Amino acid sequence: MGMTPKEVEDVFRSSGAFLEGHFVLASGRHSPKYLEKFQVLQWPAKTEALCATIVERVRAFEAETVAGPTTGGVVLAHEVGRQLGTRAVYAERKEGGPGREFRRGFPLRPGERVLVVDDIMSTGGSVEETIAAVRDAGASVVGAAVLVDRSGGAAAKRLGAIPLVALWEVEIETYDPASCPQCAAGQPIRKPGTTPAGKERAR
Ligand SMILES: [Zn+2]
């Protein structure tokens, strides 16, 4: 049986991938929660278990190929593809422009049934760009799957007719620093993702 949303949340928490406190996000906004997906993805066995739940829920899509955006989507596409017995291909950022493309001699044939996977859906940008890259290549997107949907349902709406599987939906509120309640309370803030690996635990 696949994992429940609560079990997925527990994997993120116990891995240190779901932090609660007071954080500055890359956008400059503040949030009491932070997701660092690579704290989970660095564990192949945990990634395997999460992907097994994705696989259980996407089998009906009959995907022939799995595609994911760099960087976390590479890991997930590889593992989902391994479990489905399909290929896994990666959509990389276009140099100097918006959007993504398939390089490295990844051919997609017209009509090929492609499942798009990614780790965390925020605005949905990476997933949408990967969908566009699949369509640019002439193939068709049969579904999308993510570990976490933190878009509050907005991302699924933007995908329109493409079915979305999300293992865990979490609301992560963000604030303009000027109206951040934790700043108002004088709570110390940290900027995650900026400490070199190895230094984090020593502090
Ligand atoms: Zn703040």
Q: How many whole angstroms from 177 Cα to the centroid of ligand 1? A: 5
Which range among 54-63, 93-102, 190-199 shows the weakest confidence by mean pLDDT? 190-199
pLDDT in tens, 51-76: 999 999 999 999 999 999 999 999 99
The vertex-15 CA angle with 55 and 79, nearest 5°, equals 25
Q: How many whole angstroms from 151 Cα to the centroid of ligand 1? A: 21
Structural domains of the chain, with CATH: 5-184 (3.40.50.2020)
> Which pLDDT score, from 0 to 100, does residue 202 have?
37
> Which pLDDT score, from 0 to 100, does residue 192 have?
84
Residue that the structure tokens 């700043």 belong to: 183
Q: How many whole angstroms from 190 Cα to the centroid of ligand 1? A: 9
Q: How many whole angstroms from 189 Cα to the centroid of ligand 1? A: 7
What residues does 67 pair with on adjacent strands? Answer: 89, 116
pTM of the model: 0.90
Band (pLDDT 50/70/90 cuts) for residue 201 is: very low
pLDDT in tens, 113-123: 999 999 999 87
- Residue 31: its H or E element: strand 30-35
Whole-angstrom Cα distance, residue 184 to residue 172?
19
Whole-angstrom Cα distance, residue 181 to residue 88?
43
